Amino acid sequence: MADYEIPEPEPKEIDEKLSIELRHLADNAVLTGKPYNDEQCENCRYFLEPYKDISYCWHQKLRILVGADWWCQWWDAIPEEG
Ligand code: SF4
């Protein structure tokens, strides 16, 4: 029996499609992987779990996982309680 060689992994069509969609989404949001002054996902109202390094952003135009120190143009302060 011939030796079976495991093929090298490579991106599939779905990966290219998702990559393009996510790039558009990030561009629209002006999403960056860095804070903007003292604004960052970690202290934005849309960052679901502020105690995590990565969490879900529930802004209606994003709905993706983002990093705590990222930032986008839809940043909004966490409302004061009470
Ligand atoms: S709206 Fe923007 S700044 Fe706020 S959590 Fe989502 S990606 Fe981060």
Task: Please spell the DSSP secondary structure of 47-71, one letter per residue.
Answer: BS-TTSSEEEE--TTT-EEEETT-B
The contacts of residue 52 (CB under 8 Å, 6+ apart) are 68
Q: Please report, for the chain, the start and end positions of each structural domain, with discontinuous segments joined by +.
A: 21-67
Supply the pTM of this predicted model. Answer: 0.88
Return d(Cα 19, Cα 24) in angstroms, integer: 9
Q: Which atom of ligand 1 is nearest to the CA of 55?
A: 5
Q: Which atom of ligand 1 is nearest to the CA of 72?
A: 2
pLDDT, tens digit (0-9, with 9 covering 90-100), for 11-40: 999 999 999 999 999 999 999 999 999 999
Measured in angstroms, how far is the CA atom of residue 73 from the centroid of ligand 1?
A: 8
pLDDT, tens digit (0-9, with 9 covering 90-100), for 43-61: 999 999 999 999 999 999 9
